[in-house]
A and B are shown apart, each in its own frame.
With several copies, the nearest count.
Chain A
Amino acid sequence: MEVLYFAWVRERIGIPKETVVSDAVTVADLVEELKSREERYAAAFEDVSALRVALDQELSDFSAPLAGVREVAFFPPMTGG
């Protein structure tokens, strides 16, 4: 699946997008898997309460299942308008 990062999440991880092959069942599982990879992921996902997640471009939450999802995006709370 494609994993996208925006704003300071993107800056901390250092890339806007990557393809991840994972057996993670939920978003939270995926986050744990990414955190265990490298320090920059651990830094980006340090406090998930400060983050939002979208699954296939719809806002979702960290307990949501990933089955069938093609695009996961992590970002800070939005500041539009």
Chain B
Amino acid sequence: MRILVQEEPFDPGAETSAFAQGRGDMGAVVTFTGLVRGDGGLSAMEIEHYPGMTERAITAIAEEARDRWSLGDVLVIHRHGRLVPGEAIMMVATAAPHRKDAFEAAEFLMDYLKSRAPFWKKELGPDGAAWVAAKDDDEAALRRW
């Protein structure tokens, strides 16, 4: 299990390669990458987080995923600081013997990261800066687990 909370950019492809490497017993690797969208004239995104709690919260989420599904490994990378459109904000990767576990665990991790890990996004666009509001949909997505 590997959890990285960092300001530096990362390369989702290189992380996927490293994660999938030499998994003789795992048949399925699922990755999710979240990218900054440039629609609405967005010029940058600033992500604030709560150092200390962030790592704890993500570790707890990842451990719960490992308890619930048969997983070989879990990777979570989440950036903070300033990002521009097209850049990767975060990624999740899961490895499992079977695809159902890998998919479900990745979706579970994403649903929890959206609403339970202490990150806050601010969008900078033509009308200035605005904090992204939490979506009811994201809260609802947690109820299925």
Interface residues of A (CB under 8 A from B): 4, 6-8, 10, 54, 57-59, 73, 75-81
From known contacts A54-B53, A73-B53, A75-B50, infer whether A80 and B118 are also in contact, taking CB-CB under 8 Å: yes
The contact of A77 among B50, B52, B115, by CB within 8 Å, is B115
Do the beta carbons of B50 and A81 come within 8 Å of each other? no
Do the beta carbons of B131 and A80 come within 8 Å of each other? no
Q: 12 interchain pairs (CB within 8 A)?
A: A54-B53, A58-B56, A73-B53, A76-B134, A77-B115, A78-B114, A78-B120, A79-B121, A80-B47, A80-B117, A81-B90, A81-B99
B102 at the interface (CB under 8 A from A): no
The B contact surface, by secondary structure, is mixed
From known contacts A57-B50, A57-B52, infer whether A78 and B118 are also in contact, taking CB-CB under 8 Å: yes
Do the beta carbons of B110 and A81 come within 8 Å of each other? yes
From known contacts A78-B120, A79-B132, infer whether A73 and B110 are also in contact, taking CB-CB under 8 Å: no
Do the beta carbons of B115 and A57 come within 8 Å of each other? no
B74 at the interface (CB under 8 A from A): no
For chain B, the count of residues having a C-beta within 8 Å of the partner chain is 29
The contact of A59 among B47, B89, B116, by CB within 8 Å, is B116
Chain B residues in 8 Å Cβ range of A59: 57, 116
User: Top 4 A-B pairs ranked by shortest CB distance?
Assistant: A80-B119, A77-B134, A7-B120, A57-B53
How far is it, in angstroms, between the C-alpha of A77 and the C-alpha of B114 when the chains are bound?
10
Chain B residues in 8 Å Cβ range of A54: 50, 53, 118
Do the beta carbons of B116 and A79 come within 8 Å of each other? no
| Extra A-B contacts (6), CB below 8 Å, given A4-B50, A54-B53, A73-B50 | A7-B48, A57-B52, A58-B53, A78-B118, A78-B134, A80-B114
